[in-house]
Amino acid sequence: MFRHVPNLLTGGRLLLAAVFFCLLAYYQHEGRGDPWLLNVALVVYVIALATDFLDGFLARRWHVEGQFGRLVDPFVDKILVLGAFIFFAGKNFIIPATATHAPGDNSMVVKTLTGVAPGIVVILLARELLVTTFRGMGESSGRNFGAAFIGKLKMGFQSATILVILAYVNYYHRFHHTPAEWWLTAFRDFAIWATVAITVYSGLVYLRKAMAMLRDQPAAPAPAQDPPKGAAA
């Protein structure tokens, strides 16, 4: 009975991710959707994080770790995190801004209220694809390529940054055009770029681990050659 609980929590987190994305998809800053949608999205994401901790804790506590949890749990984590950053860089959070390049030039540009640009999403996605490729190479050769501590730290930074961004956008109307706006925006940007830095560093750690794995891998034996024609059998 107990052995299925961690897997059910993992499956439930996937459903929570779907609800979370629906809320982000319907909401539009200063447009469609009431701001309370982001309050609900924030609660849903916190619950998803709690299930992420709980399913791993229960699996270890009850000694019911299995192949399903080992494969699906990181998959759900990646979907939840990458999906959130993709939405943050999308059209639902775009706001106009003034770009002054020269005196008298007040041309308008657009930026995201979340502070997340598409290039940041590319970096996060590239790291996940790279590590997934390395893990597949390691497991195909019978080598352990499990998650390192830096990978867990990266996940923690990304999840915390998502919460910071949700709170920033949700309460933006309260501190906009106030002295606190500069500090809160600086804190949001610090969280985002710290996440980018730890993501890149974790990718380099896995890259070094993969290079060491490839160096230690024994060379494949040379294919057998057919005996020359006319040679004695």
Domains and CATH numbers, the chain: 2-216 (1.20.120)
User: What pLDDT score was predicted for residue 156?
Assistant: 92
pLDDT at 18: 96
In the block, residue with structure tokens 């999906």:
83
Strand partners, 110: 96
- On whether the CB atoms of residues 198 and 155 are closer than 8 A, the answer is no
Q: How far apart are CA 187 and CA 179, in angstroms?
A: 14
The tens place of each residue's pLDDT in the chain, 233 residues long, gives: 566 788 888 899 999 999 999 999 999 887 777 778 899 999 999 999 999 888 888 877 777 777 777 778 888 999 999 999 999 999 999 887 755 555 555 566 778 999 999 999 999 999 999 988 887 777 777 666 666 688 889 999 999 999 999 999 999 989 988 999 999 999 999 999 999 999 999 999 888 888 887 787 665 555 656 655 554 44
Which pLDDT belongs to residue 197? 97
What is the predicted pLDDT for the residue at 232? 46
C-alpha triplet 20, 21, 26: angle, nearest 5°: 105
| Cα dihedral 108→166→18→11 (10° resolution) | 150
C-beta of residue 41 within 8 angstroms of C-beta of residue 165 = no
pLDDT of residue 228: 58
- Where do we find the tokens 């990304």? 158
What is the phi/psi pair of residue 217, to 5°? -70, 130
Confidence (pTM): 0.84
pLDDT at res. 5: 83
- DSSP character for 217? S
Report the alpha-carbon distance of residue 159 to residue 169 in Å, rounded: 16
pLDDT at 125: 96
Confidence at residue 35, expressed as pLDDT on a 0 to 100 scale: 76
Burial class (CB within 10 angstroms; exposed 0-12, middle 13-18, buried 19+) of 228: exposed
State the CB neighbour count (10 A cutoff) for residue 35.
14
